[in-house]
């Protein structure tokens, strides 16, 4: 059996009739009901939020589903899942049942959604609200959150991915599973696996001998992260053979061996209809071990005139050449480094003669330790082709511009159109030998189609580069955003620089007085153009004018920038809606609704313009949903400016640790109808994937609620989530009025203020201050919460004093017999860093000033170029002037310097 190299199924790797035909239309709840698929409810809730590739305007390389119900260690689920779980500071892993994720490479992006039983998380800075969704942004991430659902996207098109998720939830766009019978089948067949990967297409996955003529798609099911195999594991695969593909057992074994991250020791193959299922027992493969490999810096350079690739040892440790392997065009070379050197050391240069189209890799391999490290790979000929695409004629031309004659039989040309993949007649059908100027054309290459040209050689060792050309046809994308300080900003997204005159701005369907070419000469990837501000209600449209028929590529309705405050007076039964901050709005464009019905008094009855300081008071019963919406005659949809549920704060909860009971009591002054209230429970330890059905406990006890009326829940666990939810008109429960967990959910956050550490109480439920104890490295701090307060309420602060760098602060909840940790914080150092990435693919991180750190406490993360963190050093310190270099195979998208795996000291983004 061939010796595979370690490679990841996740970020940074090459892989990085089931009732779905009518997914669009209707509410999220209705969409869930249509999912006729035998998977846990939490799984369908997560999968239903992943948008189709057309809705997300991307091609998902992989869609992942993880069951995290019984998660003990989030690391066991791989980076993609960890990234989702860690994206929400106020989301407890125990409240999430399933995570789904989509990973795209062109453009690069990741979308993650979480489903479970939790309050609406509040990450980032709010940018908008749509229906039940809170939209926000932070750094390069875009968020959409609601009760029991959360989505995070990042990458080049973060906002697009996020918005597509919201559209799917609203029924305005298809989900990923719509029309994908193979995906639905795969997730159902592998539903008992904790981690499922589905690849919609096998093209460009970097798998030798697995092309569109072999498989249409495949899925894999694992019990844990497939990159962290320990001992023997059992994995399962579902293969969807391509039409006319004859996959005998030998072919299936080769495919599964290629897909499997471990070494296959047993395989059982089962066939049913057009499906092939394989169960394998696998053992851990060779491990990528940078620390074990000699710390050497090796770069690869090509001399096209001489036809050679040179691997140059530019510094660091010497390497015993018995441990060095040279791979050439996917084969282990007979003429290896040991034929030229006993030891490969600084200044040495290994020269390899190659064809003008070739791939070469130099790696270290320790057979005894079963470990490897790739020092350098080079794809010869990657700049030897030029692409020209005629948009209107849908014709793409590929021209060879290399200086040496090349063998066209080494090339594979493929086209991608939607889910269809076709291997085309290529250079070998036109030429016996390639010389400069030789060209071929591909017709019918329209919008969103892609053409690739690859070396037809084995992809060994794994991740060796073979793709010479990848050209995707799509119009440029311009996203319009409105900011309070900057007005309307156009953000350009396309890999090609274009003349600004190729774009036209329309204002309410008329050409704007100020055009892009008046503000800039060209547009390049990531450019921002400030277009000025426009009146509320204006519709802005961007057209791309190069095609014969100009294409609309961006639009925006200028909505009011308003912050609305809604306060309910439980004594009087009145709701006051206040314009708290932002712009004045024409009152005729506003509608206030209580319980879905327009109120008798509307903003237009009191004001011509609704502006800061204005307020409107209306009568409202307890436990009804109130929303203030904006729209105009020219806008097709309405936008919510504010929303609340009346009397949502009119409950309190008390937990008795001795009897394990929770009492829920109504504290409002208004008599209230309990008919629409349900009590919902979710106990993480039960292993259930969803919350229990809401029970009408208050309605069963009372015809009408008055102050002090209560119900008691028995056998409540400290981690159990208890929610009082509000029913909608159709009888389904959709809005949370009150939530409680016996153990504090968020407890405290910590802030540094002029050298002092301040603990801020964050829980929504008021609790006795003496129920908490603060420890610093295991010892009680001098100041305790009970020294400052009798009862803690949200926002209360305790100045704990000054602590040394590295001190770990822990807050314990002392109500149970065995105190429970509910918050922790490490005092991070104050240190500055510089990050640089050079043309030799070497990442250099330099300590530029500030505190000295223990080297073992500092980790470097470079994503997605490297999935594992790099520890600065096992011992010693890091101080001003010290540097750490890391060799990467690709340019990173972002780099983080992290203290003790928890506190981010520095973050750097790269254009990529």
pLDDT, one tens digit per residue, over 693-729 is: 788 999 999 999 999 999 999 999 888 889 898 876 5
Per-residue pLDDT at 181:
81
Confidence of residue 516 (pLDDT cuts 50, 70, 90): very high
Per-residue pLDDT at 208:
53
β-bridge partners, 522: 499
C-beta separation of 51 from 161 below 8 A:
yes
User: What is the arithmetic mean of pLDDT over 865-880?
Assistant: 82
Instruction: Report residue 62 CA to chain centroid gap.
Output: 12
Which residue in 357, 383, 381, 376 sits closest to 311, CA to CA?
A: 376
Confidence of residue 40 (pLDDT cuts 50, 70, 90): low
Confidence of residue 25 (pLDDT cuts 50, 70, 90): very low
Per-residue pLDDT at 73:
57
d(CA 846, CA 885): 9
Instruction: Supply the mean pLDDT for the chain.
Output: 85
C-beta separation of 192 from 211 below 8 A:
no
C-beta separation of 412 from 456 below 8 A:
yes
User: What is the arithmetic mean of pLDDT over 422-433?
Assistant: 90
Q: Is the pLDDT of residue 179 over 80?
A: no
C-beta separation of 167 from 55 below 8 A:
yes
C-beta separation of 708 from 666 below 8 A:
yes
d(CA 314, CA 165): 48
Confidence of residue 353 (pLDDT cuts 50, 70, 90): very high
User: What is the arithmetic mean of pLDDT over 241-260?
Assistant: 85
pTM over 0.75: no
Q: Dump pLDDT digits (tens) for 42-87.
A: 788 888 899 888 888 888 888 999 988 876 555 556 677 888 888 8
d(CA 39, CA 901): 35
C-beta separation of 488 from 481 below 8 A:
yes
C-beta separation of 462 from 5 below 8 A:
yes
C-beta separation of 389 from 424 below 8 A:
no
User: What is the arithmetic mean of pLDDT over 195-209?
Assistant: 75
Which residue in 226, 223, 203 sits closest to 213, CA to CA?
A: 203
Highest mean pLDDT among 29-43, 136-150, 617-631: 617-631
Per-residue pLDDT at 264:
84
Q: Dump pLDDT digits (tens) for 300-351.
A: 888 888 889 999 998 889 999 999 999 999 889 988 899 999 999 999 999 9
**Both tokens assigned to 835:** 């990050």
Q: Is the pLDDT of residue 673 over 60?
A: yes
Per-residue pLDDT at 602:
95
Which of 14-28, 371-385, 409-423, 575-589 bottoms out in mean pLDDT, i.e. has the lowest?
14-28
Q: Is the pLDDT of residue 9 over 80?
A: no
Q: Dump pLDDT digits (tens) for 265-299.
A: 899 999 987 889 999 998 877 778 888 999 888 98
Highest mean pLDDT among 403-412, 522-531, 735-744: 403-412
Confidence of residue 632 (pLDDT cuts 50, 70, 90): confident
| CB burial readout 654-682, b (16+ within 10 A) else e | ebeeeeeebebbbebebebbbebbbbbbb
Per-residue pLDDT at 637:
75
Comparing 144 with 20, which gets the higher pLDDT? Answer: 144
Q: Is the pLDDT of residue 251 over 60?
A: yes
First to last CA, the chain: 37
> Taking the CA of residue 273 as centre, how many other CA atoms within 13 Å lie in the half-sphere pointing to its CB?
5
| CB burial readout 276-311, b (16+ within 10 A) else e | bbbebebebbbbbbbeebbebbbbbebeeeebbbeb
Which residue in 769, 706, 716, 710 sits closest to 742, CA to CA?
A: 716
Q: Dump pLDDT digits (tens) for 794-830.
A: 889 999 999 988 898 999 999 988 898 988 888 888 8
Per-residue pLDDT at 143:
93
Q: Is the pLDDT of residue 102 over 50?
A: yes
Write out the E strands in 68-118.
Answer: 96-105, 108-116
User: What is the arithmetic mean of pLDDT over 244-250?
Assistant: 85
Q: Dump pLDDT digits (tens) for 219-246.
A: 999 988 887 777 788 999 999 988 888 8
| Separation in Å, CA 540 to CA 15, 474, 532, 551, 558 | 39, 21, 12, 14, 8
C-beta separation of 166 from 144 below 8 A:
yes
Relative to beta strand 287-288, strand 371-380 is parallel
Which of 149-163, 410-424, 777-791, 813-827 bottoms out in mean pLDDT, i.e. has the lowest?
410-424
Q: Dump pLDDT digits (tens) for 588-607.
A: 999 999 988 999 999 999 99
**Residues with Cβ within 8 Å of residue 521, at least 6 apart in sequence:** 499, 500
Per-residue pLDDT at 545:
92
Q: Is the pLDDT of residue 32 over 50?
A: no
């Amino acid at each position: 059996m061939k010796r595979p190299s370690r490679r990841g199924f996740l970020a940074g790797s090459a892989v990085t009739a089931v009732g779905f035909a009518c997914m669009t239309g209707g509410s999220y709840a209705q969409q869930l009901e249509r999912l006729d698929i035998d998977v846990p409810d939490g799984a369908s809730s997560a999968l239903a939020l992943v948008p189709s590739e057309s809705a997300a305007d991307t091609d998902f390389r992989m869609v992942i589903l993880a069951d995290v119900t019984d998660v003990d260690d989030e690391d066991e689920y791989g980076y993609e899942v960890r990234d989702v779980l860690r994206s929400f500071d106020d989301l407890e892993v125990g409240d999430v049942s399933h995570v789904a994720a989509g990973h795209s490479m062109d453009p690069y992006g990741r979308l993650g959604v979480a489903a479970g039983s939790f309050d609406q998380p509040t990450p980032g800075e709010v940018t908008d609200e749509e229906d039940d969704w809170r939209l926000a942004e932070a750094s390069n991430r875009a968020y959409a959150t609601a009760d029991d659902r959360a989505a995070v996207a990042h990458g080049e098109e973060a906002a697009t991915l996020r918005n597509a998720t919201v559209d799917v939830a609203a029924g305005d766009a298809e989900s990923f599973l719509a029309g994908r019978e193979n995906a639905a089948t795969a997730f159902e067949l592998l539903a008992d696996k904790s981690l499922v990967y589905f690849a919609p297409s096998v093209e460009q996955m970097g798998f030798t001998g697995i092309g569109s003529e072999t498989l249409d798609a495949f899925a894999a099911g694992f019990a844990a992260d497939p990159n962290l195999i320990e001992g023997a594991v059992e994995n399962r695969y579902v293969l969807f053979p391509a039409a006319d593909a004859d996959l005998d057992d030998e072919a299936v074994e080769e495919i599964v061996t290629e897909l499997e991250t471990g070494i296959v020791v047993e395989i059982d193959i089962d066939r049913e209809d057009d499906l092939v299922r394989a169960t394998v027992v696998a053992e851990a493969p060779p491990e990528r071990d940078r620390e074990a490999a000699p710390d050497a810096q090796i770069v690869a350079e090509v001399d096209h005139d001489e036809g050679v690739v040179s691997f140059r040892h530019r510094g660091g440790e010497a390497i015993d050449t018995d441990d060095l392997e040279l791979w050439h065009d996917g084969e282990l070379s007979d003429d290896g480094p040991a034929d030229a050197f006993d030891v490969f050391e600084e200044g040495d240069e290994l020269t390899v003669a190659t064809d003008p189209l070739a791939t070469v890799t130099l790696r270290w391999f320790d057979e005894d330790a079963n470990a490897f490290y790739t020092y350098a790979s080079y794809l010869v000929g990657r700049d030897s082709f030029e692409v020209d695409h005629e948009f209107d004629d849908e014709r793409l031309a590929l021209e060879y511009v290399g200086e040496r004659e090349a063998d066209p039989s080494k090339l594979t040309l493929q086209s991608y159109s939607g889910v269809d993949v076709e291997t085309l007649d290529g250079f070998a059908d036109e030429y016996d030998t390639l010389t400069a100027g030789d060209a071929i054309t591909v017709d019918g290459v329209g919008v969103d189609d892609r053409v690739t040209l690859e070396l037809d050689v084995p992809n060994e060792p794994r991740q060796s580069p073979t793709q010479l050309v990848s050209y995707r046809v799509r119009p440029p994308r311009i996203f319009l955003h409105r900011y309070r300080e900057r007005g309307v900003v156009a953000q350009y997204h396309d890999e090609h620089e274009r003349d600004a005159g190729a774009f036209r701005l329309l204002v309410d369907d008329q050409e704007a007085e100020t055009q892009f070419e008046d503000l800039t000469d060209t547009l390049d990837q990531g450019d921002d153009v400030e277009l000025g501000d426009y009146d509320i209600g204006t519709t802005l449209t961007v057209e791309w004018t190069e095609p014969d028929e100009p294409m609309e590529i961006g639009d925006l309705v200028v909505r009011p920038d308003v912050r609305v405050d809604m306060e309910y007076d439980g004594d009087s039964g009145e709701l006051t809606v206040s314009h708290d901050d932002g712009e004045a709005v024409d009152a005729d464009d506003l509608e206030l609704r209580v319980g879905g019905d327009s109120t008798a008094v509307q903003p237009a009855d009191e004001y011509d313009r609704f502006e800061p300081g204005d307020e409107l008071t209306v009568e409202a019963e307890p436990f009804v949903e109130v929303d203030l919406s904006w729209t105009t005659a020219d806008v097709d949809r309405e936008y919510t400016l504010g929303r609340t549920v009346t009397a949502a704060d009119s409950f309190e909860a008390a937990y008795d640790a001795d009897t394990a009971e929770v009492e829920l009591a109504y504290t409002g002054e208004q008599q209230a109808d309990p008919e629409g209230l349900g009590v919902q429970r979710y106990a993480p330890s039960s292993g259930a994937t969803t919350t229990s059905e809401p029970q009408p406990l208050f309605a069963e006890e009372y015809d009408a609620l008055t102050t002090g009326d209560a119900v008691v829940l028995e056998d409540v666990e400290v981690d159990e989530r208890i929610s009082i939810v509000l029913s909608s008109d159709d009888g389904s429960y959709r809005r949370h009025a009150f939530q409680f967990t016996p153990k504090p959910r968020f407890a405290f956050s910590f802030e540094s203020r002029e050298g002092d550490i301040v603990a801020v109480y964050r829980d929504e439920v008021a609790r006795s201050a003496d129920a908490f104890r603060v420890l610093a490295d295991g010892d009680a701090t001098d100041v305790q919460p009970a020294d400052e307060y009798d009862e803690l309420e949200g926002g209360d602060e305790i100045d704990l004093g000054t602590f040394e760098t590295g001190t770990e602060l822990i807050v314990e909840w002392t109500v149970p017999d065995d105190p429970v940790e509910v918050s922790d914080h490490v005092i991070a150092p104050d240190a500055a860093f510089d990050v640089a990435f050079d043309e030799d693919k070497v990442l250099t991180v330099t300590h530029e000033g500030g505190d000295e750190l223990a080297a073992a406490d500092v980790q470097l993360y470079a994503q997605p170029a490297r999935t594992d963190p790099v520890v600065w050093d096992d011992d010693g310190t890091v101080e001003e002037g010290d540097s750490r270099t890391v060799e990467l195979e690709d340019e990173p998208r972002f780099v983080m310097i992290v203290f003790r795996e928890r506190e981010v000291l520095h973050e750097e983004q790269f254009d990529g």
